[in-house]
Amino acid sequence: MKLRSYMLIGFLLSLVLSIVPFSGNFTNAATPTAVAPVSALSFTQGVQKTVLDNGLTVLTKEVHTAPVVSVQVWYKVGSRNEVKGQNGISHQLEHLMFKGTTDRPVQFGRLFSALGSQFNAFTSYDETAYFGTVQRDKLEALLTLEADRMENSLVGTEQLTSEKRVVISELQGYENSPGYRLNRTVMRDAFPSRGYGLPVGGTKADVEKFTVDQVRNYYQTYYSPENATLVITGDFATEPVLKVVKETYGKLPKRAKTAVAKNSAQVTAPSSVGKKAPIVLKQPGSAALLQAVYPLTDINHPDVPAIDLMDAILTGGRSSRLYQALVESGLASSVSGGAAELIEPGWYEIDATAAPGKELGKIAQVLQESLAKLQQQPVTSEELNRAKTQLQASYILGNQDITSQATQLGYNQTVAGDYRFIERYLAAIAKVTPAQVQQVAKTYLNPAKQTIGFFEPTQPDGKPGTSNAGSSRTVENFSPGKPVDPAELAKYLPPTTSATDLRKQSLPEEFTLNNGLRVLLLGDRNLPTINLSGQINAGSEFDGNQKAGLANLTANNLMNGTQTKNALDLAKTLEDRGAGLDFSASREGVSVSGQGLSANLPILIQTLADVLENATFPADQLELSRQRALTSLKVQQDDPRGLGRQLFQQAIYPENHPFHSFPTADSLKSITRDDLLGFYQTHYRPDSTTIALVGDFEPAEVKALLNQQFGKWQATGKPPVLKIASVPLPQTLTRLNKVIPGKAEAVTYIGYNGISRKDPRFYAALVLNQILGGDTLSSRLGTEVRDRQGLTYGIYSGFAAGINPGPFLIQIQTAPGDTQKAIASTLALLKQLREQGVTEAEFNAAKRSITNSYPVDLANPSDVSSIILENAVLGLSRSEIRDFPQQIQAVTMAQMQQAIEDFIKPENLVIVTAGPGDTVPKIGS
């Protein structure tokens, strides 16, 4: 599905450290009764298209639901335009677009951060896009910055040299993933002569060879007004903004060289005589993987709606055919799929992870049988209606915030050639017949055109390699540069209009049912949607080491059956209506996440009440979920991020502390159905449950509904409470290293135990963290370790402050040879912060950045429900959602200095590195 899959594949520049997963297996699924067509007008109504004299396409859409605006620039260039030897040049240029311009020779991430923008960029197959969402008074400034880098970006030797290292760090991080390596191999084989067969981010070999002239020529060829679309959505008036756009962008000239997409050498599917043999990768890894790819048509072909419905029938949720055939049968632990419908003919992809001990050949056989059945028999009207509802609901639920609405417009204009594409698409979806779905299955799921790959791990037990501990010695001294002076930065910031009078955030209504269930309600009539967030005090802190994984297995089995419905009935109840309900256990509770159209609120609440009160935990489903948990454990033990975080926490917290406990194969295998039932009966209680609802509803009706559905749920006695002992800092600096064979990139965690959310020092800690490592492009850590030295794709710091104190940590991804230097640089920055403190200007800039970006969070109803819930669970006031910016502004310089004294202790750190060997120096070297 375009919006939720390939549109956002690519390499997000800074805020995400992994590929956005491609999956057509959306959680919000579908109506087996007659489907009413969803009007596409809500997506395109009010959109004004303007084409400037220089060819720039401008799309504006006023959305006055929150005082924020989103600005996006989409360039019609991506990996499709690359040739062998220059693979990754689109992605390399995307990185360089943040390195400054001739008039503003500073890291643009710092400028965006100073405006409080929530920003990023991505490169994909057909497009490279840059986006930022800000308070409405920063709109003109954001437009000015984007126009500046469209024309004047610095593409020089210094910029390219440092950013090449960053890109290589990013690519090597992806190399850690067996799924990435399998995908790269399969795509190269499926499309040997086309840009789509090349990895979007490029290869290390090609990136190392890029010259300044190559990248500059690419920039001048494709980053031209007539090859771009500017999208502006949000709280603004169109005419004055278009005047600014014409003044700002209108003066940019067309390039001498017209941006023309290169013709692919091959745009039709290869005509194979017979079925190709599977590609087999035997490499270090954990779980066995399968990927199958089939050539498709392009996005504007009339078959596209039927192809997307075929995908929803195959992989759209638990009731889908491939989930039932592969996951419910115990063959696979997961399956997903999706259609890449792009400017040129794309592909359909199916991915599966084998369950422990299951053969990939058998999965491939059952997959082929399922596809053949789809080709031989028309789908049922029930399946087709469910698929239609899945697609329609996912568009509405996926466009609740203005950033997503801008992205939808930008994608359709750039890839489909018309922002109104969605109107035709949704109208066509409503008309697709069973015969058309059968026909596209016959046409495109042709075994002779299939490319299939198997990843067979050479370490099927998933056991990591050796481990060693070093002392506190580091091999190099390092003197960091001076912190960036915000006053120096300010001279490059475009002016902003006077601060607007931000609308007061409405506060949720709060009440408690007779049984102790706590509810927070906030009406939002702007969209016909419901966003539900909940928490049950039944997290993994109650596991203990012997039964580690119990809380998660319990949460994962809630939807496997109740006294009146089995797993498939529960799935269909929601998926038939395009609604979703998920449970996942974390340390301090089980998170509940629900979404749907407002008409389906009763179904969502009825299902939630049913599983919380009447779950039956069928033995067969428990075994399947146990196998999935064992697969996940193998994957985590093979992932430097997952294993590194576990070892880090276990080094900080003693064995008897609930934050020390992590599942093992033995603990997962020891858990019985009686354990689940006991845990459920003990910890799933109304007086341990909090629910927040944000959306289109009448509060009085919701109250009546909740009383009706949850009224019989009762608990006896008092809920279990843990007394968690405080954890002292380590006495000395501790260094641990874990070798995981076959990895290209190391991940390091640095830190110690921190604070709880209710600690009075929390707001000062947040400001301190913003300065230190809150943003990898604008923080001290990011400026030094990423930007100046190019040692990492991402370095971040954070306080995991919950009900109980969680860790303060710094996370770095590095090439093995750069790990020690990155750690030494980080320690030097911490010492510099400890000894010299922060400047008044830096302090004020950090506070502004946090408070300016906060309204963007409040512009998304889904985020608002999460914020309301979190505040309630953490014991904060209902007014915290409104007061948060004032709390940040109220932090004093004295409190900041005290926070540095309390929290920055370079001599007491725990440092854990997981990844390839040779990242720790030998003592005395």
In this prediction, residues 673-689 reach a mean pLDDT of 98
Give the residue among 345, 328, 344, 327 at the shortest CA–CA distance from 336: 327
In this prediction, residues 458-466 reach a mean pLDDT of 52
100 — pLDDT class (breaks 50, 70, 90):
very high
Query: Which of the two residues, 540 and 265, has the higher pLDDT score?
Result: 540
- What pLDDT sits at residue 8? 33
922 — pLDDT class (breaks 50, 70, 90):
very low
- What pLDDT sits at residue 259? 42
- What pLDDT sits at residue 488? 83
Identify the residue whose tokens are 């995307």: 94
- What pLDDT sits at residue 471? 38
As a whole number of angstroms, the distance between CA 132 and CA 140 comes to 12
- Over the stretch 636-645, which tens digit does the pLDDT of each residue have? 999 999 999 9
- What pLDDT sits at residue 503? 65
Low-confidence winner among 168-172, 478-482, 668-672, 864-868 (lowest mean pLDDT): 478-482
Inter-residue contact 1 to 387 (CB < 8 Å): no
- What pLDDT sits at residue 864? 97
| Per-residue burial over 237-252, b = 16 or more CB atoms within 10 Å of its CB, e = otherwise | eeeebbebbeebbeeb
- What pLDDT sits at residue 478? 65
Confidence check: pLDDT of 18 > 90: no
Query: Which of the two residues, 785 and 477, has the higher pLDDT score?
Result: 785
41 — pLDDT class (breaks 50, 70, 90):
low
Confidence check: pLDDT of 40 > 90: no
Confidence check: pLDDT of 149 > 50: yes
Give the residue among 29, 236, 51, 108 at the shortest CA–CA distance from 783: 108
- What pLDDT sits at residue 920? 54
As a whole number of angstroms, the distance between CA 453 and CA 1 comes to 22
Specify the pTM.
Answer: 0.93
As a whole number of angstroms, the distance between CA 713 and CA 517 comes to 9
- What pLDDT sits at residue 484? 81
485 — pLDDT class (breaks 50, 70, 90):
confident
Low-confidence winner among 9-13, 180-184, 346-350, 601-605 (lowest mean pLDDT): 9-13
**CA 867 to the chain's CA centroid:** 18
Task: Quote the tokens at residue 814.
Answer: 């590095």
As a whole number of angstroms, the distance between CA 719 and CA 517 comes to 12
769 — pLDDT class (breaks 50, 70, 90):
very high
654 — pLDDT class (breaks 50, 70, 90):
very high
Give the residue among 689, 692, 690, 688 at the shortest CA–CA distance from 508: 692
Q: What CA–CA distances, in Å, run from 64 to 136, 292, 523, 536, 867?
A: 10, 44, 16, 35, 21
As a whole number of angstroms, the distance between CA 493 and CA 697 comes to 42
Inter-residue contact 287 to 333 (CB < 8 Å): yes
- Over the stretch 544-555, which tens digit does the pLDDT of each residue have? 889 999 999 999
- What pLDDT sits at residue 504? 82
As a whole number of angstroms, the distance between CA 381 and CA 133 comes to 42
Confidence check: pLDDT of 261 > 80: no
Confidence check: pLDDT of 270 > 50: no
Q: What integer best gives the mean pLDDT of the chain?
A: 90
83 — pLDDT class (breaks 50, 70, 90):
confident
- Over the stretch 106-129, which tens digit does the pLDDT of each residue have? 999 999 999 999 999 999 999 999
Give the residue among 701, 407, 405, 427 at the shortest CA–CA distance from 527: 405
Share of the chain above pLDDT 90, in %: 85
- What pLDDT sits at residue 853? 93
Identify the residue whose tokens are 């490059």: 492
Q: Is 153 helix (H, G, I), strand (E, B) or coil?
A: strand
- Over the stretch 365-399, which tens digit does the pLDDT of each residue have? 999 999 999 999 999 999 999 999 999 999 999 99
Confidence check: pLDDT of 461 > 50: no
- Over the stretch 800-829, which tens digit does the pLDDT of each residue have? 999 999 999 999 999 999 999 999 999 999
DSSP code string of 825-848: HHHHHHHHHHHH---HHHHHHHHH
Confidence check: pLDDT of 177 > 60: yes
- What pLDDT sits at residue 477? 53
Confidence check: pLDDT of 17 > 80: no
Share of the chain above pLDDT 70, in %: 90
In this prediction, residues 470-488 reach a mean pLDDT of 64
- What pLDDT sits at residue 268? 46
- Over the stretch 721-752, which tens digit does the pLDDT of each residue have? 999 989 999 999 999 999 998 999 999 999 99
- Over the stretch 857-912, which tens digit does the pLDDT of each residue have? 999 999 999 999 999 999 999 999 999 999 999 999 999 999 999 999 999 999 99
- What pLDDT sits at residue 473? 38
Give the residue among 173, 190, 536 at the shortest CA–CA distance from 349: 190
Inter-residue contact 581 to 612 (CB < 8 Å): no
Confidence check: pLDDT of 264 > 50: no
- What pLDDT sits at residue 459? 66
175 — pLDDT class (breaks 50, 70, 90):
very high
- What pLDDT sits at residue 220? 96
